[in-house]
Amino acid sequence: MNLPREQLITRHEKVATSTSFEKKGDERSLMGTNDLLTNFAHSNENLSNNFLTKQSPLSMNIEQLTAKLGGKGRSLAAWDCYRIGLDPFFFHDPLFSQEALDNSIHMLPISNHDNDNNKIQGIINTRTELQNYFPSKRRNLRLALKSLESLSNLYSSPLRGIENSIAKLVKIQTSKDGTTKLLLNLYSSPAHNIETVIIPWEERGSSTLCVSSQVGCRQGCTFCATGRMGKLLDLTTDEILIQLYYANKLCRIRNLPTVDNIVFMGMGEPTDNMQSVASAVNLMVEKNCFSISPSKITVSTVGPNPDVFRKLTKVPAVLAWSIHAVRDSLRKELVPTTKYTMEELREGMVNCLKVRPKKMRTLMLEVALIQNVNDSEREALELATFSLKLIELVGDMKLTVNLIPFNEVEHNRFQKPSVARILAFQKVLRDKGLMAYVRRTRGDDEHAACGQLATAKKKGITRLP
């Protein structure tokens, strides 16, 4: 379907995109606008606490949601929607206009390469077309009124719905290479925004999603825009998963390759928010939830201390360690918050890998290459020696080195190395028998590349320790 933009505003939107059910025999009516807004105003003073403490269905596994909805079939039907970026609360409500199911994206202004505001952001799917994304045995399954009421009670916002309860999509920026950055505003803390990035790989037929685990980061890496923000907020499991929810919605309506690879390489240090990260990863890999292979999820850490690696032992994901330099004095310059030697940190990583299942003993070492700082033959040889010793200590494992050319950050003194220096660095590693790859820069024209994510700091916001 391709409707004019102005026709996408339905009567449901006129009551704040919310349905509040009142039983009247076999009929339902919508709560009036004034009543809805009055209730919202009365609850607003306690709203932030409710957002922070109430777990939404998006962070519930099948077993948990089954207990809430009173049946496994109902929870499976709900997750069939969440998986493709749909809210089952609205999808299964016949009173809710099908043209408005994806309005969180359709109603955003077209930006960057297309300034025609009469166009909409992607295609509009009918309910029948959307059912084709569901498993065939559940395509005709409908959530009844009682189930929708139970579902509505799980949302933290009086406006109901996943998109009204966790984060609002406020901006989409698309680079010339197709890399797409999403800016989300958190309902739990309206002063804070987060960024997540979709990297489509047309040749592979899939997309990578770079997710954030915090607002800002306390590790303070000198070459990273996020590190300059300081740590402002830990994200909840819901706030991590809503990034994947919106990404799947956007990929569906813009016909982008499906997200099948996730990297925790956005804003934040994942091990500083381990509980939320681990919970999010478990739902990402659960078969009946997001159903992404553990080998397709990567959790990256700078390794603040040896003990953080122990926290990663049971996380069903590939591990990445952002080392940037092996020589302690140089690493201290690049990661000024580090308090441990690389040998101490390596011991922690070795202990972690040894207790992980053999098929998950995979490690990616990441190095942001900076011109005349850590890109010489000396640093390459030091990295090779360090890596080979790590392999020796662990034994049966797979190690790769990911070389990331520095991406320019505002007011930063560093520069990207020449292609010749990058390839020379890679050659030293390969000549030592290591698998070393150079990461292709994507999205740098829209500040969506590695190390460039940072949201504007609002007045009155303080850093957390």
Pairing of strands 259-264, 230-234: unpaired
Tokens coding 118:
């009469």
Q: Residue 219 corresponds to which amino acid?
A: Q
Name the active-site residue from 217, 221, 251, 450: 450
Report CA torsion sign: 42, 46, 52, 53. negative
The answer to whether the beta carbons of residues 194 and 212 sit under 8 Å apart is yes
**Rg over CA atoms, the chain:** 23
The answer to whether the beta carbons of residues 299 and 317 sit under 8 Å apart is yes
How many CB atoms lie under 10 A from the CB of residue 406?
23
Name the active-site residue from 163, 195, 269, 446: 195
Please list, in sequence order, all residues whose beta carbon lies within 8 angstroms of the beta carbon of residue 49, skipping any fewer than 6 positions away: none
Is 352 catalytic? The answer is no
Is 195 catalytic? The answer is yes
Please list, in sequence order, all residues whose beta carbon lies within 8 angstroms of the beta carbon of residue 268, skipping any fewer than 6 positions away: 212, 213, 214, 215, 216, 217, 226, 231, 234, 235
Q: What is the set of active-site residues? A: 195, 450
